[in-house]
Structure 1
Amino acid sequence: MRRGASWPRCATDMATVALPLFPLGAVLFPGGRVSLRVFEQRYLDLVARCSRSGEGFGICLIAAGEEVGEPAVPAGVGTEAVIVDFAQTDDGLLAITVEGRRRFRVAACGAQDDGLVVADVEWLPETPPQPPHAEHALLAVLLARILDKAGEEHSGVGKRELADAAWIGWRLAEWLPLENDERQALLELDDPHARLQALVERLPDFQAE
């Protein structure tokens, strides 16, 4: 995407689509939520457009650069974000809550004149719900305990979610004390069972000595 390019609405049958990006120092997973404080004009304009059209934008972990200022270099895989709530902070800034939807791979990207990064992305395959393998059943129990301790906000989680290998993996990737590069590696895995295996192998590191 060349500098100064507009943000076109792409046909759904194209191999890639144009998606504006919001590079962050965090990883958003499908089904997860994150709150953002918006104050730079490029992102205020992005939020306004997405609010009017119902379109989403992409969130990618920052590979190089910062969240504020010059356009940051995004990681190669990110998650589509859809705005689900608005608020105003005590200091008068706009705060939004977004929810993660589809994953995508960045094929190419560049910055518009206003500094907004726009990427040509390929949507990654979505895995149909499937139960975890027997050797990963402990992870569903662990996640249920974590969510129970998290309080009322997560009380609506039911057996269907806790029986889906992909959902278990995404939520544990959010809640376990992982580094961002580890979270990014988990996001990039297509196989939900491989993701659970990677988490199982990390569990001993979280046990109190």
Structure 2
Amino acid sequence: MGMAATTPALDLPLFPLSSVLFPGGQLQLRIFEPRYLDLVRECARTGGSFGVCMILEGREAGLPAVPAAVGTLATITDFHSREDGLLGIVADGGRRFRVTRTRVRSDGLVRGDVSPWVDEELIPVPPEFGLLPTILERLAEQMAPSWQKTDRNRYDDASWVGFRLSELLPLDPNECQHMLELDDPLQRLAELRDILPRFQRP
């Protein structure tokens, strides 16, 4: 089932990162490059979002990096001055999007035309994946993510469980990107279940 974009393309500043932001996830960033300080100012002024895309080529700082074609909308929820004098921000992950074209501004900030995807439908976690919510609870206890005290019902939402496991399991960034790009919550759970033996202690 393909995710057809139902909304017109948005023009967004893109923030290429070496990690993946999932819908419902949270991002903490230190901002020091002028182009990203401008991005934060623009979002603060307009209440707008920016796009987070995993880096395919390049690095987070320096020359403009090549972003992956599927990313996640991020909305800034908190600003703070860090002890090192840099600006810290917290942003929440929203819908996924596909980048249809990018351009690099003179200051190195990448902007993109993006088509948001519709949210995944709510599907209960099927019995054959019943172990996954249990593993997620254990990981949440150990790692105490921001959503740790979430509503118990979330653990029966296949999409939410898949995204949270993708976030907390030690997947490599390309695997995370693959989990982000899947558009079937049950396929994501099946692939996570198949990967799990890798992380189990003998």
Matched, 1:103 2:96: yes
Matched residues in 1 for 2:77 and 2:100: separation?
Answer: 27
Q: Secondary structure at the match of 1:113?
A: coil
Partner residue of 2:31 out of 8, 28, 38: 38
CA distance 1:189–1:158, shift in 2 (3 Å): same
CA offset at residue 192 of structure 1? 0.6
- 1:27-81 per-position Cα deviation (integer Å, ceiling 9, x unaligned): 0000101111101111101101101111000000000111111111001100000
- 1:146-172 per-position Cα deviation (integer Å, ceiling 9, x unaligned): 212334954422221111001000100
- 1:12-39 per-position Cα deviation (integer Å, ceiling 9, x unaligned): x863221110000110000101111101
Partner residue of 1:53 out of 46, 63, 67: 46
Partner residue of 1:83 out of 70, 73, 76: 76
Matched residues in 1 for 2:52 and 2:200: separation?
Answer: 31
Number of residues of Structure 1 aligned to a counterpart in Structure 2: 197
Matched, 1:133 2:126: yes
Structure 1, unaligned runs of 5 or more: 1-12
CA offset at residue 120 of structure 1? 0.9
Letter in 2 for 1:198: E
Structure 2, unaligned runs of 5 or more: 1-5
In structure 2, what is the equivalent of residue 163 of structure 1?
Answer: 156
In structure 2, what is the equivalent of residue 149 of structure 1?
Answer: 142
CA contact (8 A) 1:148 1:154 kept: no
Percent identity (aligned): 47
Q: Secondary structure at the match of 1:140?
A: helix
- 1:124-156 per-position Cα deviation (integer Å, ceiling 9, x unaligned): 121132201221111011111221233495442
Matched residues in 1 for 2:23 and 2:57: separation?
Answer: 23
CA distance 1:90–1:157, shift in 2 (3 Å): same
Matched residues in 1 for 2:145 and 2:21: separation?
Answer: 22
| RMSD between aligned residues | 1.5
In structure 1, what is the equivalent of residue 180 of structure 2?
Answer: 187
Matched residues in 1 for 2:161 and 2:154: separation?
Answer: 7
